[in-house]
Amino acid sequence: MLKKLLKLLNNLIFFQISSKNEVLSHNIKYFERLEGVDLKLVNILKKVSLNYPIAIMANGGKRDLKTQRMLFNAGKTKTMNSKHLTGNAADVSPVINGRININSELDLAYMCGYIKAVADMECVQLTQGCKWKRKSIADNKKNGFLDMYHQELI
């Protein structure tokens, strides 16, 4: 039943829903930023955006080498071998009151958990920048590179 409902929702025109359950707009930028990203990941993010109580927005998807190098040199990424280069990663953020919410670690953690749950339901393996290979967000924050926005196909 749930799979049929998710399939039906996936076929509807894509709308983002605010935390007040109002239709914000048909978000063209959402798809533009995911151009070139693997369809498995795009479909997971579409399903999340249709069901998650807070709007989400894609900050980035597939990157070229020049952009990756610029981010690497600025310290915004730790590798030149990113899954963004192959279209197997995307960065997403919660949107609250029309603004990308980068200040609430709790909102980001909830969003990551929801994305992971939807991916698990669809049997799509993901790794996330909030945990990487560590046991917890706190451990990753202390000993690694915390990238709460990053979603990556395994």
How confident is the model at residue 123, as a pLDDT? 95
How confident is the model at residue 145, as a pLDDT? 61
How confident is the model at residue 78, as a pLDDT? 81
How confident is the model at residue 59, as a pLDDT? 85
Look up tokens 């669809």; give the residue.
122
Whether residue 6 is contained in a domain is answered as no
User: Mind giving me the DSSP string for the chain?
Assistant: -HHHHHHHHHHSPP--B-TT--B----HHHHHTTTTS-HHHHHHHHHHHHHSSSEEEEEE----HHHHHHHHHTTS-S-SS-GGGGT-EEEEEEEETTEE--S-HHHHHHHHHHHHHHHHHTT--EEETTTTTSS-HHHHHHHS---TTEEEE-
How confident is the model at residue 142, as a pLDDT? 56
- Give the number of domains in the chain: 1
How confident is the model at residue 14, as a pLDDT? 38
How confident is the model at residue 11, as a pLDDT? 40
How confident is the model at residue 117, as a pLDDT? 93
CATH number of the domain bearing residue 19? 3.30.1380.10
Whether residue 80 is contained in a domain is answered as yes
Whether residue 125 is contained in a domain is answered as yes
By C-alpha distance, which of 137, 139, 143, 116 is closest to 47?
Answer: 116
How confident is the model at residue 121, as a pLDDT? 94
Query: Could you tell me if 16 and 25 are in contact, meaning their C-beta atoms sit under 8 angstroms apart?
Result: yes
How confident is the model at residue 144, as a pLDDT? 59
Give the structural domain span for 124: 15-153
Whether residue 9 is contained in a domain is answered as no
Residue ranges of the chain with per-residue pLDDT less than 50: 5-28
